[in-house]
Structure formats: C-alpha cells, structure tokens
C-alpha cells in the first residue's frame, strides 16, 4: 500500500490518477529527468535479420550490469539475454566508448527469435538490467535475405565484397577512415536504389550514431592509376540532413558492368557502434521508409500540430474537435490515440463531407494541366486547396470569402517534398491586392542580431472586414518547382483545443524510496483557455505522484517576438514528481505507464488523449529484482 499519496488510487479511475495543472504544488527534492544512472544502449550489431530466422546480436551500452531481459515494445519478436562482457575500448572517434570517469562499456549477447510472420520494418527494443529499463534501440526485420559483412578487409575498391543485386547487408563502419566497399554486377539501363539504415546521431546523451554517406563508383581506372575508381554519385542530390541523415540514392546504369557502392561515415569517423544495414534494390521496390509505414514500427506517432508533414484530410476538423473541451468523444477504450491511426490523413475527395455535426470540408484541386497564369479557383471555409508548384515561378491563386470577425486557421501540409527544399508560402490578399498577412513569421532571435524568419505550417487570422480575399500559394523563393512540390492548404474555423503535449523522458526507472521528476509541457491552441488535466495510468504498486514546482533559470530579456499568437501556441509546463515507496516492490519487467491529457472547461471535460506510453520500472537501490 502506498503510504505517500492520496492521489495514487482515486476511486472511479481505477489504476489511474488525475492531476490538474492547477493543483497546489508540492516541492520535493527529486532526481533529474534523465539521470545518468540508468542503463543506456549505444548500439546493436548486427542491425537486422530476415523474418523467420534466429541470430545472435551484441548490444553495447553503459550500466547494463545484470541485464536479464529483452523487451520489445510491440510485435512478437523475442530475445534471450546471454553473457555480459566488458568491451575493451580502443581509440576511435566515438567519445561515448568509455574511458576516464565514464562507466564501463558492456556488451550483452542476445539471442533473437524472429517469427516468420514478423512485420518487415523497425522493431524497437530495450534491455532490462539491474538498474532498470534502458532506452530503445531499433532492430530491422527484413522480408529478404540478409547478408553479413565479410570478415575480410573490404575497405578498398580492389577488395570489395561481392554481392548479388538485390541485396541487404549488415555492416559496421568500425574504425576511423573506414569505407566499406561492395561490388555488384548490373545490366544496362537498370535503375537501382541504394539506402542505408542505422542509428543516427541524436541529442546528448544518446548522441552516438552513424551519419552515413553512400558513394557509387565505377572502377574505370585512369591514365594515372589503373585501380582508380570514378565517382558516379554521392548520397542523394539534393540532400538535406535536416530531414533525414539516412542517405538514399537512385541511379540508372547506362552500361552493363561491375560497380561499387561504398558506405562510410560523414567526415570519415568510425566506431564499433556504427552498425548499418545497406539495401540495394530496384528503384521500384518500396523504400525502408515505406516499409516502416506499412507496419507498426517506429515510435508511436505523437500529435503534431505544426509539422509540414502532418496529414491533413477529411477528419481534420473532427480530430481537432476531439481535442477540445466538451467534445466528450472517446475511443473504444475511453481514450483517443493521438490521431496516429485515425482517418484525418485520408485523402479528401472533391465535395467530401465531414462527420455528422461537423462542417463540411470541400476540396478544391488545382489542375496543373491547362493551368493559366492568373487562373483563380474558389475555395470555401472550411475547405482544402490542393495543388502543386510544378515549375519554378508557379503561383497558384484561390479566392474565398470571409466575414468580419471570422477567425480562420490556415494549415499547410507538404505530402511529398517539404522544407527546406519546398517551402510553401502563402499570402492572403484583400480586394485591393494588398497582402494582409502571410505564413512567414518574423521576429528577433535570442542573439538579437538578426531577424529570425520562418515559414510556418499554421497561421491564424481574424478578418476585420467581410469580403472576398485571395489566397496566393507559391514556393518561398519562386525559383523552384516540380511534381513533388505538392501542398494541401486547409482553411477552417479556429477550434480552441489542446495542442502538443511533450514529456522529457522516454522511460522511468523509479528507485524505491526515492523521487523522480518528470516535466510535461502542454500547448494551448487557437485560444484554448480551459484546463488540461494530466492523468497517469498504470502506476506500479507503491508509486505515487505529486505536482511539483520548478524554478526556471532567467533567460534574459524577451526579444521582440513579432505576431507570436498568429504562429505559436500558448505553452505551459508542469512538473510531476513520482515517488516510489521504500517498500514498493521491484518490477521484474517494465510496465507501460500511460500519460493522458484531458481538456476541461466550463463546457465539461473533453476526451482523454493518450500522450505517451512510458516503460516504467521500480528498482531496488541495490539493483536487485526482489529483496522481499
């Protein structure tokens, strides 16, 4: 029985607890959100295997003493933990390898069983060790056969490992300056895609990762050097590491012959943690990313209010309504799942209607063929303008009517190519052709030296006059355009609702008798003024939580932030302190702690929104599973 809190088990909510952000705060001396005393995985090698196979992998990381279980977040993959060994650290460019005051680098042998019906794609797993549950790593299941990198040196064109196309190869850029070469024969006029999957660098402390580069060569020789290769392609062009560090290139071979593909690290660094999976396939085959979308893989989707790639479809209004107070629409289990699997991304058919009780969204599709300069299409509010900036200088124009005082939200989606390549700019013009506003947000940065300008995926505006307005869509620079520069622009009434809810942890290892802090930030969108109740479900036995306070460091004077409400939500954050009682029993495996948010206002409570499922464990101070 929990002795700390009256909030831990509230009648009527089962194993859940309700915490309103307006609750009085309790000051507690708690640990930081991501303590360095938790198990931390750095790499797994090999990085993937074929469905229906079993194999042994080594997982390396810190604080893995007593590793005893593999925990897959979803799916039916299973693993059995074997030996744990200390990994000797050699000089390499990876600063995370250990040494100095850092914890010892450990390797854990894991035997994996991959069912033959396992979904192809990424499977996230964690290790359970003495100190709790680790961060997640990704393991890729392939439907095709997977080769392993040869044990022989193949870091030069002349020693390249021969592979047959199509191929999937598990490899590792193990040391500085290493570039792994794979040779293949190809017929004339065939088009291949090369792509690499790996753990890419992230933010500290989990920043160990490979920033891979792909280079395609032809062993042409030259007058100077008969062994010389000629570089045919490098990564993808144009490439943007802002969107993805995973390189992909597609190449059409004009000549039959022998070619080489090289896998290395950007700037040439190497590390035992730099495992990768190289895939060579016909360009018509699905990409890694497409395979991942087919399954349940990757991190469960969280609500993205402002992302150019969030889908905008027929269910958008309903989904927004469900995030507002008084909506009272819950899913089958009483919660909504953040929209990840909802219909809001489904394409809208022209003239499509919304849900019952919802305003209809009417789709207007710009016809690129036959489009003439100055053509204007009419769009209603709510409505979606869909088109393509298919050539440099293309400008699409729409007309719509708005009433005085009407509060409209404009949301842009780029379903295919997005920023920084395609930066959709729209402007709203009045009847005289004057631009009232655009989705370019200008303000001062913290450095106070430059104006910071960004193209925003969402813009709010209240019309001061009734009338007909023009919506003008183009690429920001007007220099670019192609068939991939597609956009969907939703014009809709503003709907006050709960926006993104963020936490600062991906796992909780609660030490019995100690407190642990978790910060939750909530966005209030489009004038939402109600409360947001945060709910934690599935607390382990003996664990309670309290609202906490946090003293924020002074950030300096607030710079001029322009028309911030037009482009940004209001944000608040709350600190939750979790206390595991001294007698709380240790959990042998993680439990899924569900963080939910619920909008509440005078209109009543809204739906519970599932924010995150957090693997949570209670561990004994000694690290033992059970002491009592």
Judged by the rule CB under 8 A, the positions of this chain that interact with other proteins are 93, 155, 176-179, 220, 222-225, 228-231, 234, 237-242, 264-270, 419-421, 423, 440, 442, 444-455, 476-480
At residue 158, the 3 state secondary structure works out as helix
CA pair distance 611, 574, nearest whole angstrom: 15
Structure tokens at 351: 């003239």
Q: Say if residue 352 is exposed, middle or buried (CB neighbours under 10 Å; 0-12, 13-18, 19+).
A: middle
**How far apart are CB 446 and other proteins at their closest, in Å?**
8
Half-sphere exposure of 466 (CA within 13 A, CB side): 2
Q: What is the spatial distance between Cα 261 and Cα 247, in angstroms, rounded to a whole number?
A: 12
- In whole angstroms, how far apart are CA 582 and each of 536, 577, 579? 20, 15, 9
Q: Which is nearer to other proteins, 139 or 426 (CB)?
A: 426
Minimum CB distance to other proteins smaller for 130 or for 442: 442
Nearer to other proteins, 321 or 394 (CB): 394
Q: How far is the CB of 558 from other proteins (least distance, A)?
A: 15
Closest CA to 167 of 252, 285, 267, 268: 285
Residue 594, CB-side half-sphere exposure with 13 Å CA sphere: 19
Rounded to the nearest whole angstrom, what is the least distance from the CB of residue 6 to other proteins in the complex?
40
Q: Cα(64)–Cα(103) distance, rounded to whole angstroms?
A: 10
**Residues facing residue 17 across a β-bridge:** 536
User: Least distance (Å) from other proteins to the CB of residue 263?
Assistant: 12
- Our CB check for other proteins shows the closer of 38 and 96 to be 96
Query: String of b and e for 480-500 (b: at least 16 CB within 10 Å)?
Result: bbbeebbbbbbbbebbbbbbb
Nearest approach, Cβ of 485 to other proteins (angstroms)? Answer: 12
**Number of residues in the chain:** 628
Q: Is 578 exposed, middle or buried (0-12, 13-18, 19+ CB in 10 A)?
A: buried
Tokens of 307: 């992302």
CB of 456 to other proteins, least distance (A): 9
Nearer to other proteins, 180 or 292 (CB): 180
Given the complex with other proteins, which of 162 and 230 has the nearer CB atom? 230
In angstroms, give the least distance from the CB of 414 to other proteins: 13
Task: Read off the tokens for 257.
Answer: 């012959």
CB of 228 to other proteins, least distance (A): 6
CB of 265 to other proteins, least distance (A): 8
Residue nearer to other proteins on the CB measure, 1 or 267: 267
The residue (of 7 and 266) whose beta carbon lies closer to other proteins is 266
Say how many C-beta atoms besides its own lie within 10 A of residue 445's C-beta: 13
Q: Is the CB of 324 or the CB of 474 nearer to other proteins? A: 474
Q: Are 464 and 407 in contact (CB under 8 A)?
A: no
């Amino acid at each position: 029985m929990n002795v700390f809190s009256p909030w831990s088990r509230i009648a009527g909510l089962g194993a859940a607890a309700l915490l309103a952000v307006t609750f009085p705060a309790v000051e507690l001396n708690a640990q930081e959100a991501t303590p360095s005393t938790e198990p931390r995985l750095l790499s797994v090698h090999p990085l993937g295997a074929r469905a229906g196979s079993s194999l042994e992998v080594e997982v390396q990381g810190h604080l893995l003493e007593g590793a005893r279980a593999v925990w897959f977040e979803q799916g039916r993959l299973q693993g059995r933990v074997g030996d744990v060994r200390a990994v000797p650290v050699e000089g390499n460019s990876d600063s995370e390898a250990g040494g100095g005051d850092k914890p010892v680098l450990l390797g854990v042998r894991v035997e994996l069983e991959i069912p033959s019906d396992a979904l192809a794609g990424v499977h996230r797993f964690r290790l359970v060790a003495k100190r709790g549950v680790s961060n997640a790593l990704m393991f890729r299941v392939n439907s095709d056969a997977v080769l392993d990198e040869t044990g022989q040196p193949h870091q030069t064109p002349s020693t390249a490992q021969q592979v047959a196309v199509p191929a999937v190869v598990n490899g590792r850029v193990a040391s500085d300056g290493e570039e792994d070469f794979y040779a293949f024969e190809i017929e004339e006029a065939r088009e291949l895609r090369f792509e690499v999957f790996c753990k890419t660098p992230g933010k500290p402390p989990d920043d160990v990762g490979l920033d891979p580069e792909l280079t395609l060569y032809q062993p042409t020789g030259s007058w100077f050097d008969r062994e010389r290769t000629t570089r045919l392609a490098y990564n993808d062009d144009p490439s943007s590491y802002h969107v993805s560090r995973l390189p992909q290139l597609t190449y059409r071979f004009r000549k039959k012959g022998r070619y080489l593909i090289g896998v290395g690290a950007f700037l040439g660094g190497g590390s035992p943690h730099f495992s990768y999976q190289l895939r060579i396939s016909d360009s018509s085959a699905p990409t890694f990313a497409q395979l991942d979308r087919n399954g349940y893989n990757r991190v469960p989707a969280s609500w993205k209010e402002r992302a150019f790639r969030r889908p905008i479809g027929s269910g958008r209004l309903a989904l927004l309504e469900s995030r507002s107070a008084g909506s009272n629409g819950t899913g089958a289990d009483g919660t909504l799942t953040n929209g990840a699997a909802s219909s809001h991304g489904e394409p809208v058919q022209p003239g499509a209607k919304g849900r019952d009780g919802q305003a209809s969204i009417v789709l207007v599709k710009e016809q690129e063929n036959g489009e003439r300069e100055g053509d204007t299409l009419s769009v209603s509010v709510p409505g979606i303008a869909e088109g393509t900036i298919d050539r440099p200088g293309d400008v699409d124009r729409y007309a719509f009517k708005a009433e005085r005082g009407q509060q409209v939200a404009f949301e842009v989606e780029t379903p295919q190519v997005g920023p920084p390549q395609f930066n959709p700019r729209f402007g709203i013009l009045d009847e005289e052709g004057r631009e009232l506003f655009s989705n370019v947000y200008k303000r001062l940065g913290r450095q106070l030296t430059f104006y910071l300008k960004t193209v925003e995926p969402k813009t709010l505006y209240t019309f001061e006059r009734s009338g007909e307005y023009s919506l003008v869509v183009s690429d920001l620079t007007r220099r670019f355009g192609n068939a991939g520069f597609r956009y969907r622009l939703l014009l809709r009434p503003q709907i006050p609702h709960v926006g993104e809810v963020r936490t600062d942890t991906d796992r909780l290892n609660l030490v019995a008798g100690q407190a642990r802090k978790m910060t939750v930030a909530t966005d209030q969108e489009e004038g939402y003024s109600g409360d947001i109740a945060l709910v934690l479900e599935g607390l382990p036995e003996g664990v309670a939580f309290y609202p906490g306070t946090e003293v924020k460091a002074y950030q300096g004077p607030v710079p001029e932030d322009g028309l911030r409400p037009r482009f940004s939500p209001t944000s608040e954050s709350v600190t939750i302190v979790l206390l595991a009682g001294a007698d709380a029993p240790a959990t042998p495996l993680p439990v899924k702690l569900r963080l939910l948010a619920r909008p509440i206002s005078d209109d009543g409570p809204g739906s519970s929104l599932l924010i995150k499922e957090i693997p949570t464990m209670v561990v004994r101070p000694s690290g033992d599973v059970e002491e009592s």
